[in-house]
Chain A
């Protein structure tokens, strides 16, 4: 059992333990555990960064003999960052729920731990079936977080979220089982890749396309790729703040991570052939998400649609098959997790104070809560791709990669960058500028020290990821170089 396995097991153990505690004790224990897990996970960083192209902390033991499901896990220079983001955002999500969750407290924190367990599992699985299990594990706690702790239409949103994602993952399950049969009885991703490489396993073009689509649709729903995105605004609006943070920052990345880890390496030819329609949808999503965000009267919906737009960049980058494009996509995955996570936190803070998500109920917040307004502004700037903050790097690389393949992709996707400034600055103006109403002045107080504790790491990451990309980018780049090396078949090389 290595450090990675411990990082995985700890949240599950904590989940079980917290369920048996009550009230405040459960809350404190959960936060304590989450912080310990974060510290433990930091230990993964050094060795992984030393060899980012390879799989580190690999475990490979049989879980079930027949069908041969293996506990095969490991992390490379991409998954390490997603795991660290998970272990960082879990305690933060707990801290922001401190006063917000007043009923069924132990369960709430337990679900967050279970979600953490599922997410870490997703990002480290190297066995298709194991991946599928963790994928489904993630669904349950999020379903409960929305369905129990959400707002008025929570049941509708939770069920929609559950069924929509479920529908996609059933397709993936069918494809996984099919591959199992075809690959000679293994779910082991590394073995499957090896067999594909040495010719023991071969998919006919049509077959490959069906399998690719089965995986891709499951992932695309999760991303969500236009036009499969309509579950997202509902889920975000109804979810409690912590749920929104985890959903936007991490669960959406399950989709893009799945594409990167499984779709591209296992079905490179199909992915390559399907890139034009997919990129078209991604670019439509970038512009469409931004335009619809522009006219939202509800802050959470606005941020939700902005996610549709931002994740469009990620999908665009992944399907450029270009080093800069894919590097940018991964960078954008992490950057979006930080900045949109922070946005949802801040919107949640406003909601806790004034009990409204409608933009029209605000105005003049800058007068009565200057620090909150400043942090919101920094996050807004990060979100609109201000240089020296995190999102710029990802967007720049994605667009650079896209431009290298087809300049028109960069032209149309670039429109989304203009529009992001429109919707975010308009939101900021309406909520924070102008005269302050009596209502707002009375309710909206400035940040508490507990809120500062949750925001400081986010701001620090926004600046760090914007200025010193060398901490993150080389490992991501090395993993992607390795991945692209697997993907470059002769046909793709010829086609370019």
Chain B
């Protein structure tokens, strides 16, 4: 036994300690408990991994039976294979860094203990999610991270927009979870178990379905779950709003870890997806559409966190594209590199916001390069990484996905390349607006303390070398066989060129000829406005779903049917009940003890009556 259970239990204990006693603790104690528990869990991961190396086979630990009924038997089981290992390292590694950063970022915030308690609880559920050996336990983590996301988005619960955003995230995710649950029911019906190893062993004896069949249905339903969690079309709407949460939360949960759970779940279920070509295509289409759509919105946003939020949606779309074209390991590679550079982008943005006294509007920034040079340096590295500039990390994973996409269908590659160009444009737009030119705000920007910039520096190094150093697809080849895409030098060059072109365009628009963006915006006002208002999707959902449900329930179901019909029918006997009510009122004016006596007498009369009646016969 390698006591894998300790990995999630450390943060759970941290949560319990800080959650129950944190209010009385000093910040130092809270920090020690919160950061310490995550670091311990990181160390335990390292220890378990070194003991289990080279981990060519899945290692399983069974703890106890959770739910059993009839033939259904669901255990509290953890399993670890190379895919889990990658996720564990990302979650605990990045998690530790972000916890450290947060001790600096949140230092002056109220509800300090509550923040770290929630953050630790998140770690517990996220680690349960990746360690789970069956779908239901994965679902436990899945729902749990959603809960923590809800709590942390709504952390500033005095603000209505924050509590609204938290609620929205939870409910939209619930819609996805609905699909996930149905998929689980169908898996039980088809395979009789929810255990990963057993399900995949049985599935691998089945040849791929060409037609619509049960595995296709299962995969499409799993995809519904993944779409909710990983913010893909049409359920992505919660993620941009989720930026109401504190910035370390945006980095950890809404960029590096939780939102990639959908990608992880699809990669975990690769054996099923490979047998459902239709579902695979749907994954690819949704991913591609999301990547493009979110990138176009990202082009025109002014809130620095919103830009990165749409960028996250877009990059998650890339990962889906990778999985959908069969390159699951490339998708996971992008999960890893994205965790590095996107966490860095968010934490760097947090440092910028921190420096500008809470300002998030890039129009009120500018010229920060000299004032916060460390933040500038790390953000610049992150921006180059996401833009796919070689040899930074993003270049490798993005390349792998695009190659596989080209092998599946060249047009997918081309759409991906255009998106890569847009990505480079909006990220560098944010860099230029923030750090170049003259400062346009009123605050007095200052560099963040060391606890904040040291984690940034570590992430910057990872963003620099993370792609070259960690060849994830090769590492994962025992679990997720490589598919598609031979490396093609010319295709790779085109993709890189698209990224560089995006950077160049951004430089022209925001450094050299600053009048261009304004002129473009007024020349194409309707398009600009549509993008700026995010295609009005929230408004559309509100008018077509939210309002009709609320008003229909109130006017038709409650006031119409419930009160007007069902209750009215019952009260048809209303006159009788009113009369009886009057009678009761008279009884009430009597002695206080009479009521109880009435009861007792009544019961005795009934019982006695039977006895006498019985005896007489």
- Using a CB–CB cutoff of 8 Å, the interface residues on chain A facing chain B are 16, 19, 63-67, 69, 104, 106-107, 110-111, 114, 133, 137, 140-141, 144, 147-148, 155-156, 158-160, 163-164, 227, 229-231, 288, 291-292, 294-296, 322-324, 327-328, 364, 366-367, 381, 386-388, 393, 396-397, 399-400, 403-404, 407, 410-411, 414-415, 417-418, 421-422, 425-426, 429, 432-435, 467-470, 473-474, 477
Q: Do residues A159 and B185 form an inter-chain contact, with CB atoms below 8 A?
A: no
A111 touching B553, Cβ below 8 Å: no
A155 touches B581 (CB 8 A): yes
B174 — which chain A residues lie within 8 A by C-beta? 417-418, 421
13 contacts between A and B (CB under 8 A): A104-B592, A155-B584, A160-B570, A227-B566, A327-B70, A388-B144, A396-B67, A396-B181, A397-B69, A400-B188, A410-B185, A414-B178, A434-B163
With contacts A288-B557, A403-B189 known, is A144 near B599, CB below 8 A?
A: yes
Would you give the 0/1 interface string for B158-185, flagging 1 where the beta carbon is closer than 8 Å to chain A?
Answer: 1010011001001100110110011011
Answer yes or no: B197 CB below 8 A from chain A CBs: no
Contacts of B167 in A (CB 8 A): 425-426, 429
Contacts of B613 in A (CB 8 A): 64
Residue of B nearest to A227 (CB): B566
User: Which residues of B have CB within 8 Å of A104?
Assistant: 592, 595
| Residues in B neighbouring A69, C-beta threshold 8 A | 610, 614
User: Is B554 touching A19 in the complex (CB atoms < 8 A)?
Assistant: no
B109 shortest CB reach to chain A, Å: 15
Q: Is the CB of B154 within 8 A of A433?
A: yes
Q: Determine which of A67, A291, A397, A426 lies in contact with B557 in the assembled complex, contact meaning CB atoms within 8 Å.
A: A291
Whether A433 pairs with B70 at a CB distance below 8 angstroms is no
Task: State the CA gap A110–B606 with chains docked (Å).
Answer: 19
Among the 9-residue stretches B135-143, B355-363, B452-460, the one with 4 or more Cβ atoms under 8 Å from chain A is B135-143
CB-CB nearest in chain A for B167:
A425
The closest CB in chain A to the CB of B579 belongs to A159
Cβ A433 vs Cβ B549 within 8 A: no
A66 and B599 within 8 A (CB)? no
A327 with B69, Cβ < 8 A, contacts A292-B562, A407-B185 known: yes
Contact, CB under 8 Å: A140 / B599? yes
Residues of B with C-beta under 8 A to A415: 178
| A16 interface neighbour in B182, B600, B607, Cβ under 8 Å | B600
Q: Is B521 an interface residue (CB 8 A)?
A: no
Contact status A414-B566, CB under 8 Å: no
Q: Does B66 contact A (CB under 8 A)?
A: yes
A397 proximity list for chain B (CB < 8 A): 67, 69, 72
Contact, CB under 8 Å: A414 / B599: no
- Answer yes or no: B537 CB below 8 A from chain A CBs: no
A315 to B446, CA, bound (A): 63
Q: Mark B240-276, 1 if CB is under 8 A from A, else 0.
A: 0000000000000000000000000000000000000
Residue in B170, B185, B186, B603 with the greatest tally of chain A CB atoms within 10 Å: B185
Known contacts A292-B553, A470-B64; A414/B158 CB under 8 A: no
17 more CB-based (< 8 A) A-B contacts, given A163-B577, A417-B177: A66-B614, A106-B596, A107-B593, A144-B595, A159-B577, A291-B557, A296-B558, A366-B157, A388-B140, A399-B185, A403-B182, A403-B185, A407-B182, A410-B182, A418-B171, A434-B157, A477-B70
Q: Tell me whether A421 and B170 are in contact (CB under 8 A).
A: yes
Whole-angstrom CA separation of A322 from B611 in the bound complex: 42
Contact A295–B554 (Cβ < 8 Å): yes
- The smallest C-beta distance from A78 to any residue of chain B, in angstroms, reads 14
Within 8 A of A (CB), among B493-550: 549-550
Report the minimal beta-carbon distance from B218 to chain A, rounded to whole angstroms: 11
Interface string of B570-582 (1 = CB under 8 A from A): 1101001110110
CB-based A-B contact count at 8 angstroms: 189
Interfacial residues, chain B to chain A (CB-CB below 8 A): 64-70, 72, 136, 139-140, 143-144, 147, 150, 154, 157-158, 160, 163-164, 167, 170-171, 174-175, 177-178, 181-182, 184-186, 188-189, 549-550, 552-554, 557-558, 561-562, 566-567, 570-571, 573, 576-578, 580-581, 584-585, 588, 592-593, 595-597, 599-600, 602-603, 606-607, 610-611, 613-615, 617
Answer whether A433 and B158 are a contact pair too, CB < 8 Å, given A65-B614, A414-B182, A417-B178. Answer: yes
- B68 and A400 form a contact (CB under 8 A): no
Question: Which residues of A sit under 8 angstroms from B177, Cβ to Cβ?
Answer: 417-418
Q: In this complex, what residue of B is CB-closest to A20?
A: B593
- Are A230 and B566 CB-contacts (below 8 A) given A292-B557, A294-B549? yes
Contact between A164 and B72, CB atoms less than 8 A apart: no
In angstroms, Cα B69 to Cα A397, docked, is 8
Measured CA separation A435–B189 after assembly (Å):
49
Q: Which residues of B contact A288 (CB under 8 A)?
A: 557, 561
A473 to B72, CA, bound (A): 12
Taking the closest CB of chain B, its distance from the CB of A68, in whole angstroms, is 9
* Chain A: CB-nearest residue to B142: A387
A229 surroundings in chain B (CB, below 8 A): 566
Q: Is the interface of A mostly helix, strand, loop or mixed?
A: helix
Q: Is the CB of A407 within 8 A of B186?
A: yes
Give, as a whole number of angstroms, the nearest-CB distance from A235 to chain B.
12
Q: Please, how many angstroms separate the alpha-carbon atoms of A67 and B188 in the complex?
A: 51
* Distance in angstroms between the alpha carbons of A64 and B558 in the assembled complex: 48
- Nearest residue, chain B, Cβ from A295: B554
In angstroms, Cα B64 to Cα A304, docked, is: 36
Bound state CA distance, A457 and B69, in angstroms?
A: 26
Pick the most buried of B188, B189, B603: most chain A CB atoms within 10 A of its CB. B603
User: Across the interface, which residues of B come within 8 angstroms of A163, CB to CB?
Assistant: 573, 576-577, 580
A158 to chain B, nearest CB (A): 7
Chain B residues within 8 Å of A292, by CB: 553, 557-558, 562
Chain A minimum-CB-distance residue to B162: A433
Closest A residue to B565 using CB positions = A227
Most chain B Cβ neighbours within 10 Å, of A160, A367, A432: A160
Task: Point out the residues of chain B lying under 8 angstroms from A19, CB to CB.
Answer: 593, 596-597, 600
Known A159-B581, A163-B580; judge A294-B157 contact (CB<8 A): no
- Top-7 shortest CB links A-B: A323-B70, A403-B185, A64-B614, A295-B554, A291-B553, A230-B567, A433-B157
What residues of chain A lie closer than 8 Å to B585, measured between beta carbons?
Answer: 155
CB of B617 to closest CB in A, whole Å:
4
Enumerate chain A residues within 8 angstroms of B69, measured Cβ to Cβ. Answer: 323-324, 327-328, 397, 473, 477
Is the Cβ of A473 less than 8 Å from the Cβ of B67?
Answer: yes
Instruction: Say yes or no: B599 contacts A141, CB within 8 Å.
Output: yes
Contacts of B593 in A (CB 8 A): 19, 107
Within the complex, what minimum Cβ distance (angstroms) separates B578 from chain A? 8
**Nearest CB in chain B to that of A469: its residue:** B67
User: How many angstroms from the CA of A380 to the CA of B69 in the assembled complex?
Assistant: 26
CA distance A324 to B188 in the complex (A): 12
The answer for the CA separation of A366 and B617 in the assembled complex, in Å, is 66
B596 CB contacts on chain A under 8 angstroms = 19, 106-107, 110-111
Q: Which of A63, A156, A414 contacts B581 (CB 8 A)?
A: A156
CB-CB under 8 A from B147, the residues of chain A are 381, 386
B25 CB to nearest chain A CB (Å): 15
The distance in angstroms between the C-alpha atoms of A207 and B150, with both chains bound, is 54
Q: Given the known A-B contacts A288-B557, A425-B171, are A66 and B64 also in contact in the complex, defined by CB atoms under 8 Å?
A: no
Q: Which single residue of chain B is at the shortest CB-CB distance from A160? A: B577
Chain A residue numbers with a CB within 8 Å of B553 are 291-292, 294-295
| Contact present for B136 and A396 (CB under 8 Å) | yes
| A470 with B65, Cβ < 8 A, contacts A140-B599, A288-B557, A407-B186 known | yes
Q: How far is the CA of A429 from the CA of B159 in the complex (A)?
A: 11
How far is the CB of B142 from the nearest CB of chain A, in Å?
8
Q: How far is the CA of A366 from the CA of B163 in the complex (A)?
A: 12
* Pairwise interchain contact B603-A137, C-beta atoms closer than 8 A: yes
CA–CA, A21 and B360, complex, Å: 68
How far is B617's CA from A294's CA once the two chains are assembled, in angstroms? Answer: 57
Minimum CB–CB distance from A399 to chain B (whole Å) comes to: 6
Taken together as a complex, chains A and B put the C-alpha atoms of A296 and B562 apart, in Å, by 12
Residue in A16, A133, A227, A417 whose CB lies within 8 Å of B606:
A133
| Residues A230 and B70 in contact in the complex (CB < 8 Å), given A66-B617, A163-B577, A414-B178 | no
Q: Which residue of A lies closest to B599 (CB)?
A: A140
